[in-house]
Amino acid sequence: MLRLARPARLIACALLACASISAFAQTGPAATTAPAAAPAATPAAVSRYLTSEDALSQLLALVDERLSLMPAVAAFKWQQSAPIIDPPREQAVIDRAVKLAAPLGLPAKVVRVFFELQIAGARALETHLTNEWRAQGFRYQGPIPDLAKDIRPRLDAITTEELRALYRLAPFVREKGFDKMFAREAPMRLHSDGWTAMSRDGLRTILAQLRIEPGSALVRLNAAGVIRIGTTGDYAPFSLEQEGRLSGVDIDLGRELAHTLGLEPVFIRTSWKTLLSDLKASRFDVALSGISATPARAAEAALSPAYYNGGKTMIARCADAVKLGTLEVADRQGIRFIVNPGGSNEQFAREHLHAAALRVYSDNRTIFDELIAGRADAMITDDVEVALQTHRHPELCRTTPGTFTHDEKVALIARDPALEARVAGWMRSEAALGVPQRLLDTALSN
């Protein structure tokens, strides 16, 4: 394999590139066609959150791959006595990328600079190799791929993949700690000849400007081949993360929705406190997490038809259930209520509890352990969650047979008439077929 002399590693402060091993090195010309959208997952698939590390790694792999193909490009041009710089081809690459980026909501200026930097890096590397071969003789290991038949189709495919990777990465670039993560990952992922600390910094600068511009959400989804589903991962039986895996009624429903739309489901972590702000910031397209329909949520987002009807009720240790039978009786001094933050449970508790103590507990996955251990006396939450927890923990009991409210579980949808209509139609069909209820019955019996 061709290796560059040390001075060549100082080539261009504007370098960008693609994956660690070229497609030719692995599969040959058969891998040169543009990729189709990833196949939709089925309900049997294992689901995990897309993390900032995953999204960044996907992009860096592609960026490094583009640069790794440049020695083959230089060798072909050397063999054909073709010029290194090809302005019409370079402009065509940039124009195509900008055109493909538009339905994804990626800013044209950012995309243009992103590909201009990659082209500048390719030029610099090809020029260095050509000068080295002139001085020391031509050296290239292995057969030289054909530029038009083999290399350019792969480069065109990488362009499409890079744009989709930019789309997935966009919500993460402004997260706290992203710069540190980039500084840690870039030297490991961007290892093709030609990279420097300065060129990696150039990449980070352009990534900092990434965002998703307003536009048709359904058009974006189809262009990206994915639907991003926000979920909290802390609310069984709807959405629960355990050992890095997501499970629950709404995870299954999310996969079914993606399958119906012909898209890949990508799950994005959110919280009850940031649910609406994350949706407005376009971190995801739809949220499914046992979400209650509330006026505040309806004012900020579209809501699907309900797929479950229930309400708020109270759970306590069985030994205390009788004396805490009603909300009026339980709301007195000396009674310690506990609540998870940011959602409709906390809103209800603050509106209706005045004398009892109220403690906000951040981890909804372990909150019921506080009741079992006697560090809290009661909690108000949805009846379906109470049914699940009393089934799993015989120490816990529902304190009243009825509910304090009427509650509907819905999907939260980015405001876009076309997307709203598709999700609403799908949800009505699922509810009519009894799918959500069957999933709930199964979850509550386990």
The length of the chain is 446
Confirm if 301 and 276 have CB atoms less than 8 A apart: yes
* Pairing verdict, β 357-360 and 336-339: parallel
What does the DSSP assignment read for 331-344? SSTT-EEEE-SSSH
CATH numbers and ranges of domains, the chain: 10-23+49-207 (1.20.59.10), 217-308+411-445 (3.40.190.10), 312-405 (3.40.190.10)
Q: Give the position of tokens 């709807």.
A: 238
Three-state DSSP class for residue 242: strand
What does the DSSP assignment read for 78-101? HHHT--S--HHHHHHHHHHHHHHH
Quote the pLDDT of residue 9: 34
Reported confidence tier of residue 319, pLDDT bands at 50, 70, 90? very high
What the block records as the tokens of 334 is 């000396």
Reported confidence tier of residue 46, pLDDT bands at 50, 70, 90? confident
Q: Per-residue pLDDT tens for 374-433?
A: 999 999 999 999 999 999 999 999 999 889 999 999 999 999 999 999 999 999 999 999
Confirm if 77 and 83 have CB atoms less than 8 A apart: yes
Quote the pLDDT of residue 182: 96
Q: Which residues contact 288 (CB under 8 A, 6 or more apart)?
A: 229, 230, 231, 238, 239, 250, 251, 253, 254, 257, 411, 412
Alpha-carbon gap, residue 34 to 49, rounded angstroms: 26
Quote the pLDDT of residue 396: 97
Confirm if 7 and 13 have CB atoms less than 8 A apart: no
Quote the pLDDT of residue 51: 95
Alpha-carbon gap, residue 289 to 240, rounded angstroms: 9
The mean pLDDT value for 120-138 works out to 94
Residue 2 has pLDDT above 70, yes or no: no
What the block records as the tokens of 369 is 């352990």
- Dihedral of CA atoms 111, 116, 122, 124 in degrees, nearest 10, equals -150
Angle between the N-to-C axes of helices 108-136 and 52-68, in degrees from 0 to 180, rounded to the nearest 10: 40
Alpha-carbon gap, residue 316 to 320, rounded angstroms: 6
The mean pLDDT value for 299-309 works out to 96
Alpha-carbon gap, residue 192 to 186, rounded angstroms: 11
What the block records as the tokens of 299 is 């004012």
Q: Per-residue pLDDT tens for 211-225?
A: 999 999 999 999 999
Residue 427's Cβ-count burial label (10 Å; 0-12, 13-18, 19+) is buried
Three-state DSSP class for residue 254: helix
Residue 26 has pLDDT above 90, yes or no: no
Q: Distance of alpha carbon 324 from its chain centroid, rounded?
A: 42
Quote the pLDDT of residue 28: 33
Alpha-carbon gap, residue 410 to 431, rounded angstroms: 11
DSSP-assigned letter for residue 175 = S
In the Cβ-directed half-sphere of 421, how many Cα atoms lie within 13 Å? 5
176 or 33, higher pLDDT: 176
Q: Give the position of tokens 């030297």.
A: 187
Quote the pLDDT of residue 116: 94
Cis check for the bond before 87: say yes or no (omega within 30 of 0).
no
Q: What is the pTM of this model?
A: 0.82
Q: What is the mean pLDDT of the chain?
A: 89
Q: Give the position of tokens 């290239």.
A: 140
The mean pLDDT value for 44-64 works out to 92
